[in-house]
């Protein structure tokens, strides 16, 4: 599986500009014929949280149609990072994916809201797992702060997921945490981690970039710098089975003792 990560600089509170930038990046990435394209968190709006009632996407319909159309046009899976979805009972930070036919393969709303960036004041948390399948490969998707909760990631991996997709707007001051947490999640779950962060800044934050793919042994397959960039890497899924067979972490778990 070849995965391309679109590390975009997101225009603060400007969906029109962000759709145009995402389309350019997707079309460029598609030229190298990846199996999957991954976008960052809140790529349509950025963290303009106080204005989400104005700029969030009603039901996610506009973003889903946009991504689905490009996925079908290029015959590529697109894990569309996350966007702000306006629902009847509030706004969610929702990751979705379109398969090669443009059909919805995933809808996951961020479970853990990040208080340091006031998410809990403007967003409603999700209530379901991010499990899905791409081309027959069991996968999971989570968003940014979720990676600080290893029990939440393990809940997905114990269900058989082999690839963890992470979309984020992770700030530069905690870059070391970003790298360490992602590598840890890959090693402890013996899975591939494909993580797409944003580049650039907004009025309150500078973001870290460093989107990366990590294999089940914790080795970095590819890693971006801090600026706008498209990076791609090959996922050899046989390595997942190799790691899980050599060190049988899942077979040796004692979940009855973890309560």
Delineate the domains of the chain, giving CATH numbers in brackets: 2-252 (3.60.110.10)
Q: Average pLDDT of each block of 10 consecutive residues along the chain (259 residues)?
A: 98 98 98 98 98 96 98 98 96 98 98 96 97 98 98 96 98 98 98 98 97 98 98 98 97 93
Instruction: Give the pLDDT score at 259.
Output: 84
Evaluate whether 45 touches 15 at the Cβ level (below 8 Å): yes
Overall pTM surpassing 0.85 (yes/no): yes
Nearest to 160 by CA among 135, 132, 121: 132
Evaluate whether 46 touches 13 at the Cβ level (below 8 Å): yes
Instruction: Give the pLDDT score at 69.
Output: 98
Name the helix (H) or strand (E) containing 4: strand 2-7
Q: Provide the edge-to-edge strand list for the sheet that holds 137-143.
A: 131-134, 137-143, 163-167, 192-196, 212-214, 220-223
Alpha-carbon distance 106 to 113, whole Å?
20
Q: What is the CA radius of gyration of the chain?
A: 17
Report the first-to-last Cα separation within the chain, whole angstroms: 36
Task: Kindly list the catalytic residues.
Answer: 41, 110, 144
Which two tokens mark 90?
A: 């509030």
The Cα-based distances of 27 to 74, 88, 102, 167 in angstroms read 8, 33, 15, 19
Evaluate whether 42 touches 82 at the Cβ level (below 8 Å): yes
């Amino acid at each position: 599986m070849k995965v391309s990560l679109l590390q975009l600089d997101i225009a603060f509170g400007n969906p029109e500009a962000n759709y145009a930038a995402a389309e350019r990046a997707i079309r460029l990435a598609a030229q190298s014929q990846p199996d999957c394209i991954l976008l960052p968190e809140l790529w349509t709006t950025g963290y303009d949280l106080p204005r989400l009632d104005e700029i969030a996407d009603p039901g996610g319909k506009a973003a889903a149609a946009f991504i689905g159309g490009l996925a079908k046009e290029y015959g590529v899976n697109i894990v569309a990072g996350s966007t702000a979805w306006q629902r009847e009972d509030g706004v969610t930070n929702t990751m979705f994916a379109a398969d090669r036919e443009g059909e919805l393969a995933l809808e996951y709303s961020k479970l853990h809201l990040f208080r340091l960036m006031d998410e809990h004041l403007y967003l409603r948390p999700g209530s379901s797992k991010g499990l899905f399948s791409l081309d027959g490969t069991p996968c999971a998707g989570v968003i940014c702060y979720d990676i600080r909760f290893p029990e939440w990631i393990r809940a997905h991996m114990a269900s058989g997921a082999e690839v963890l997709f992470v979309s984020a707007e992770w700030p530069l001051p905690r870059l070391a945490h970003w790298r360490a947490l992602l590598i840890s999640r890959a090693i402890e779950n013996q899975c591939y981690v494909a993580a797409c962060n944003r580049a650039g800044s907004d009025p309150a934050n500078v973001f870290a970039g460093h989107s990366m793919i990590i294999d089940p042994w914790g080795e970095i397959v590819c890693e971006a710098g801090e600026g706008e960039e498209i990076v791609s890497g090959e996922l050899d899924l046989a390595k997942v089975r190799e790691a899980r067979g050599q060190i049988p972490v899942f077979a040796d778990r004692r979940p009855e003792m973890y309560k």
